[in-house]
Amino acid sequence: MNTIDPRYSIIQDRVKSIRRIIGFASSKGGVGKSVIAVMTSIILSSKGFSVGLFDTDFTNPSCHIILNVKDTKPVEDKGIVPPEIHGVKLMSITYYTGDKPLPLRGVDITNVVLELLAITRWGSLDFLVVDLPPGLSDEILDVIRFIREIGMVIVTTPSKLSLTSASKLIKLLKSIGRHIVGVIVNEVSPTTINLESVKSTINSMGVE
């Protein structure tokens, strides 16, 4: 990252009034990550916390669908002020692209991430929840590079394939100095899944 880019210092100013930033990531799609990120935001808001939700999946954003956002746009006032949906401030690329996918790669993705982070005025928040795209895409690497304070929650399912790939994601995130807040194992049924085996696998990742 070129720290000469003035947007980097603007981003630091934008997030300085946010108490906690939590990124929801997964090693593969279809594990329920976005639903969990949205529900976490709503639950935190219902408990009296001020919450923002940033959907950084530019190829297949879904937070606006889960929240049933219709005909809502941000307000432009020395930047972009995200609209409040169900008590949560939501920022999504879909305000500008609609349902059209963005075929971005490399430096183009970096510029979009930088621009959205720099222009979005979150104000004072207790929590900013960041819904990251599945896998280890450029969006994820850019977000965790530009927001060093972010803690990571990994969402997986109890299948061997999903747990194995989640373990690799955790190791990589740890190798670049990112804190793992926790692991959420979705779609667990105590009648069909050996919970102790799942717990043991998670503990082996170095996460309690």
* DSSP conformation letters of 96-109: HHTT------THHH
Per DSSP bridges, beta strands 179-185 and 151-156 are parallel
Question: Exposed, middle or buried, 28 (CB in 10 Å: 0-12/13-18/19+)?
Answer: middle
Q: Which domains does the chain have, with CATH numbers?
A: 6-204 (3.40.50.300)
pTM score: 0.90
Cα 198 from Cα 204, distance rounded (Å): 10
Over the chain, what is the mean pLDDT? Answer: 88
Q: pLDDT category, 192, cuts 50, 70, 90?
A: low
Which residue(s) pair with 56 in the sheet? none
Measured over the CA atoms of residue 29, residue 116, residue 69 and residue 100, the dihedral's sign is negative
pLDDT, tens digit, 9 for 90 and up, residues 74-89 = 999 889 999 999 999 9
Q: pLDDT category, 32, cuts 50, 70, 90?
A: very high
